[in-house]
Amino acid sequence: MADSADVAARPAAVDRAAHRDPNVLRWLGAYASSAIGDNVYYLALSWAAVQAGTPAQAGLVTALSAVPRAVLMLGGGVIADRFGPRRVLISSDAVRCAAVLAVAGLLLVGRPGLWPLAVLALVFGAVDAVMMPALGALPTRMTGRGQLARVHGMRGLVVRLANVLGAPLGGLGVALGGTAAAFGLAGLLFAASLPLLIAVRVAEQPADDARVRGTAWSDLTGGLRYVRGHRVLRSLIVVIALSDLGFVGPLNVGLVLLADERGWGAGGVGWVLAGFGTGAGAASLLLTARGRVPRAGFVLSVSGVVSAVAIAALAYLPHVAVAVAVALSIGLISGLNGVLCGALLQAESDRAYVGRVTSVSNFFSLGVAPLTFPLTGAAIGLWGTGPVFVASAVVCGLGGVAGLCARDLRRAELPR
């Protein structure tokens, strides 16, 4: 089904550089507002849960979003392809806005306890499962395929900006007006994205395309068959899955335990994360400026191997200054890898399937990979940081090796 509000492709603007395209910039502004709202929301949710319950209950509430996100992610790709990513994104931000404002109102008039926070977390997880595939599918509808790497670079810059601004804004909201004010601020940021999204114009999906007009189940299985039968995409999904499974545990859990073991303290963790963020931001800026990297499949595969070596080395560095430098290099290399993976994923996908292809990738990145957090912590408790970082690096490196061994992916190029 086509998005009836979408218009035909804009041939005059399709070859325009993405960072000079007003249509892309409107989407980027909407994404920035929504991403900052995400960060404000997560801080407000965590703070409200801690105030309303025990630490264990607070941890459970904040983790609830992962359940519907993992269970429903593949179905979200079907929805994005069937109804159009622009329509899905508008609906998603509207639902998120209404949900957080409703909870803000409850907190403003009383102390409702944990139950509305738990419901809100579940709603956000379900909406994320639909929203993430649509977010991945939209760039192919609003710009030329040769601009996909630049769009992903711009998106990476916005993610870094949102991470820097969101938490302080959420903290300011809590300090000035409590959690109700913080939730209200998140709702306003989601609302601010809506007029910009409505103003975005995208290419229309053919209304008679049989690839998105079957049952929901046939659409889902058809998308999985499409990925399995595509020689570049099936290898790229393996690379993404292995890279994320080996990367996110050490970065999110292992780093804190490593800093405690080395005596770096919370400040040391902050500096290492700042180094990583700076490197990732630099990679996004590079791709935004250049717009394209030659031999993209080969570069992303090699970068996976190199970043794995750096991750393993991180566990054996005694001084925080050296760890910051290594983290900066990891951020630069993995940031480049992530942008190229996202751009190639969209460039190689038929437009009718890009939402479902993105949902398969997100299933591993956002659904399965976070499950390694408790496993990483438990493994470090048994064997220490060094062996666990090395084992995680091996998994990450296997992703790069898989890319190098897959001839079609190794030779894949981004469109000009």
Residues 144-174: tens digit of each pLDDT: 888 998 999 999 999 989 988 888 898 898 8
Q: What is the pLDDT of residue 12?
A: 38
For residue range 254-295, what is the model confidence (pLDDT) as tens digits? 888 888 888 888 788 889 988 999 999 999 998 888 878 899
Token digits for 188?
Answer: 């306003």
**Mean pLDDT, all residues of the chain:** 88
C-alpha pair distances (Å), 63 with each of 60, 363, 373: 5, 16, 12
Q: What confidence tens digit (pLDDT) does each residue in 332-364 have?
A: 999 999 999 999 999 999 988 999 999 999 999
Alpha-carbon dihedral of residues 167, 173, 179, 180, nearest 10 degrees?
Answer: -130
Q: How far apart are CA 106 and CA 113, in angstroms?
A: 10
CA distance 325 to 52: 40
- Written as six digits, the tokens of 135 are 């977010």
Render pLDDT for 193-238 as a digit per residue (tens, 0 to 9): 999 999 999 876 654 454 556 788 999 999 999 999 999 999 999 9
Whether the predicted pLDDT of 329 surpasses 80: yes
Inter-residue contact 281 to 156 (CB < 8 Å)? yes
122 pLDDT above the threshold of 80: yes
DSSP 269-331: HHHHHHHHHHHHHHHHHHHHHH---SSHHHHHHHHHHHHHHHHHHHTT--SHHHHHHHHHHHH
Domains of the chain with bracketed CATH: 18-203 (1.20.1250.20), 222-410 (1.20.1250.20)
Q: What is the DSSP letter of 143?
A: S
| Higher pLDDT among residues 241 and 249, named by residue | 241
- Specify the higher pLDDT residue, 167 or 185: 185
What's the whole-model pTM score?
A: 0.88
Provide the 8-state DSSP code for 204.
P
- Residue 399: name the closest of 246, 249, 250, 239 by CA: 239
**Which residues 6+ apart lie within 8 Å of 225 measured at CB?**
none
